[in-house]
Amino acid sequence: PPSPPPSSFIFFFNDTATTEIFTRSLVGSVRCVYETGQGGNAQPSENSTSCDECVAGKYQQATGQTSCSDCDGGTYSGEGASSCSACAAGNYSEGGSSSCLQCLEGTYSGSGAEVCSACEAGTYCFAGSTEATPCSKGTYAAAERSQLCTACAEGTYQDKEGATACVTCGDGYTCPEGSVVQIPASCDEGTYLNVTQELCLGCPAGSTCAGGASQRRPCTRGGYCGLNASLPTECPAGRY
């Protein structure tokens, strides 16, 4: 009778590009030992005659393996990978990903992120942001996850960056939309600043109006005040 086959033997396939080595057992199973000079392959079952590439989102850095591992969150891989690559800043991935996704508006991330972080109130983030950007002076963001900052409304101002609200303009000042400072009113004598309408109005009878940023004041005793008066007129002799 013929001699029994050896318990195992090795095949070598050589060319200028690659070296492949396979080991065959008595039952005909094939175990992948080394292929194409790197990892990224696995022999998943017995009776195989070649190694399978790791699918995208998985990797195998060692030789002689029977399975591939999922890429960690914040990384990705293509087919046949021996390692996973970190997601670039402004992107993210879950475990086992074949590519990274861009951070949504209102969020941001650094490199290798599994999730994107929400932009805090007082900041904003475009899609794919790598960091939160503080709101500029004259603007604000009241809530987190803002994609844009809002200009301060007329009658308010904001002189600081990264604000979550605007400040009401004080009496005697005017603040157009988006103001970064309060602007002193410059009303003429005999008029006063109406802070609600932000207009200079004529002084009513019974009051004096010095102009500028001053508000109207009651007419003093011993005199009288007609319309648009900047100073009271003294009462003549015999009158009060």
How crowded is residue 221: how many other Cβ atoms within 10 Å of its Cβ?
A: 9
Tell me which of 1-10, 91-100, 197-206 is least confident.
Answer: 1-10
Cβ-based neighbours of 124, under 8 Å, separated by 6 or more = 106, 132, 133, 135, 141, 146, 147, 148, 149
> Is 49 within 8 Å of 31 (Cβ atoms)?
no
Express each pLDDT in 74-127 by its tens digit. Answer: 999 999 999 999 999 999 999 999 999 999 999 999 999 999 999 999 999 999
> Is 207 within 8 Å of 225 (Cβ atoms)?
yes
pLDDT at 207 over 70: yes
* Its pTM surpasses 0.85: no
Chain Cα centroid distance, residue 218: 54
